[in-house]
Amino acid sequence: MIPSKPPQDLTIGSIYQHLIRLAIPASMGMFFNTLYNLTDNWFAGKVSDDALVGLSISSIVFYLFIGLLAGLQNGTSVMVSTELGLKQPQQLKNIIRNCLGLGLAFSLVITVAGILFAKDAIHWLSTNDIITGLAWDYIEVLILGNVAFSLSAVGAGALMALGDTKSNRNALVVGFFVNLGLNPLLTFGLDMGVAGLAWATLIIKFASALYLLNILCKKLGYRPLPCLNKLVSLAILRQVLPASFNFFIMIIGSLMITGFVSRFGDYAIAGYSVGLRLEQVLLLPALGLNAAVLAISGQNYGAKNYRRIAETYRKGLILSLSISLVCIPVMIFLSPLMMSFFSQQDTIIDIGTTYLRIDALAFFCYVSLFISVATLQAIKQPDFPVVMGFFRQLLLPFIVNYLLIIKFDYSIEWVFGSVASIVFISMIVTLIYTRSQLKKLPHIN
């Protein structure tokens, strides 16, 4: 098989142009992926308010179990981009084959863990039997078919490192429109309820994985078969596990915050969940920029262009500030309108609006954290984000909210305010640390 065209060389040319060229397709893909999730929420709301709450709970729990795959996508991108910078084609082939092998191994672990522990996690978030039953109907399908998510993660990560964010965008855009047809067909036409939403997702994710892997094979000029070589796999895991653990911490933290929110009722959970999804929509340009920084810095790290990495970091932060200046007013002024699209229940709308307006104060903090973490991953320093994530998303929120909500019985606004304050402090510390690590690279000073 002859490669379709050579990988994009990100070690030369305008950094701004590379950032924008890679970030826009990545952001569009993530935008449609988030719309996809919001569509599921919308159809669940048409089934019943209980179904919306059940889907909200099961989505959080499912992301807890597939945290390994988030790290796999980032780890694949880092390892592939570095080998591209080093220009070692045989080692590149070994990296991709082992990423596929690790993906299949991770899927097996997720399936077993999901079967054993998913129900307990759902019951921890709600004691309503109807809601927990609906949540299990949804998550059971995805846990058993999670290999589709695994293969898709490897394909998307490898293509991103090759300078191709358009293929994953195409898969996510098409998936969104197919979902618009499958959701009503399976949920209402075949009377499958919320399980129909899960089956639609699984069908689309399998098709997306096959598409991405096919594009990857064409770009490489060969079909990499999954394998597990000890030395290569350990090198990949060195990048994958910290990123996975950081994502895992994030989901645990989200579960914990949801637990505190649940003290104010099931509708509070639904409002917080929808508000969180809407915030994710606004964060998508920043996440696309994060993917671009990871790919550009990774290739330049392999090529030892350390000054270019520092320049990518600086310009990434400048673009992040521009994104924030647009999105923050939207969160403050348009949040009631956005919430009203997903529920007519006043409590759900009010809680989501409150969350969005308070967390708007931390929007740039999130964006700059994304850029810093991507840069640290690219220069093969993935450990600090894990440590910071532990303090930012687990330890400090638990201590602060235990005191505010459990001990002193403060209102739900204090939950959201404490999260925003902790994110601000974490951003300052992470910015200082990332700059210090960049200065240690040769030829940066």
Q: What is the pLDDT of residue 206?
A: 93
pLDDT, position 211: 95
Report how far apart, in Å, the C-alpha atoms of 66 and of each of 15, 32, 276 are. 33, 20, 18
Give residue 195's pLDDT.
83
pLDDT confidence of residue 7: 64
CA-closest candidate to residue 216, choices 70, 76, 392, 23: 76
Q: Model pTM? A: 0.79
The domain limits of the chain are: 15-440
**Can you give the pLDDT at residue 123?**
81
Half-sphere exposure of 141 (CA within 13 A, CB side): 19
What ranges in 263-305 are assigned the alpha helix state H?
Answer: 266-302
Which of 436, 37, 10, 101 lies closest to 274, judged by CA? Answer: 37
For residue 287, what pLDDT is reported? 85
Specify whether the CB–CB gap between 325 and 268 falls below 8 A: no
Residue-level pLDDT at 298: 87
Joined together, the tokens standing for residue 442 give: 């040769």
User: Rounded distance, CA 378 to CA 290, Å?
Assistant: 11
Q: How far is CA 3 from CA 118, 308, 353, 367, in A?
A: 42, 28, 49, 36
- The pLDDT averaged over each successive group of 10 residues in the chain (445 residues) is 61 91 86 80 78 79 76 84 76 88 90 84 78 83 88 90 87 90 88 86 92 91 86 85 81 84 88 87 88 89 90 96 95 94 87 96 94 92 91 95 95 95 96 95 69
Q: How far is CA 427 from the centre of its chain?
A: 18
3-state secondary structure of 222: coil
